[in-house]
Amino acid sequence: MKDGSGGFNGVERRGLMFVLSSPSGAGKTTLSRMLVDEAPGLTMSVSATTRPRRPGEVDGRDYYFVDRPKFDAMVEADEFLEWAHVFDNCYGTPRAPVEAALAAGRDVLFDIDWQGTQQLRSRASNDVVSVFILPPSVQDLEHRLHTRAQDSDEVIRGRMKKAGDEMSHFDAYDYIVVNDNIGVAFESVKAILRAEQLKRERQIGIEAFVRDMRRQLEK
């Protein structure tokens, strides 16, 4: 069977929502980018957010940057699959492009927190596969946050405090990967995605395909 929407002899595959979550600095964004680069037919879900744009970010590629009134209007119109307040800002996943991708057999990657993951499960549990990325130690997590030089010391302290709460929800995820080495962690995440793609229940038409082969063998 081919990745994406392609199939054979009537067998197609419904896409899945592949979630990567972690405390800030544990590596989920890096792993997400690596996965999109290598996995055929995988697209990154682009979230809407009210937070300010960081240097180098592009509207429509990294996020849809909207103001609070626009975001609230989208919530009111039920245009999000999930949304949440994170560090005094709002984030949400637009519904329409994700649902279109799944129906076409394409997989969608989510870089969201545990609250967003729970919202996705409540809407489409059979389509969601979730992975939680852990740092190898608290010291390593703090070092990564300082090294990326994107936030003030005060913000970093807030993220470290938040990390403990985020880690407490690890048992809500299907898989756990400790990111001690980015290459090893990536291979683990990629293997999880591939295994989930091959699950019998995601292969639409597989029963008819097998029945047809059995009929041919019985002649």
Positions at the binding site? 22-29
**Which amino acid is located at 183 in the chain?**
G
**Inter-CA distances, 202 with 3, 72, 107, 173, 210, Å:** 12, 35, 11, 19, 15
User: Binding-site residues for ATP, please?
Assistant: 22-29
d(CA 196, CA 203) in angstroms, rounded, equals: 11
Cα–Cα distance between 114 and 138 in angstroms, integer? 19
CA nearest 200: which of 186, 210, 185?
A: 210
The answer to whether 82 touches 97, Cβ cutoff 8 Å, is no
Q: CA separation (Å) from 45 to 13, 105, 204?
A: 19, 15, 23
Cα 185 from chain centre: 15
| Other CB atoms within 10 Å distance of the CB of residue 119 | 19
Query: ∠ CA 61-64-65 to the nearest 5 degrees?
Result: 125
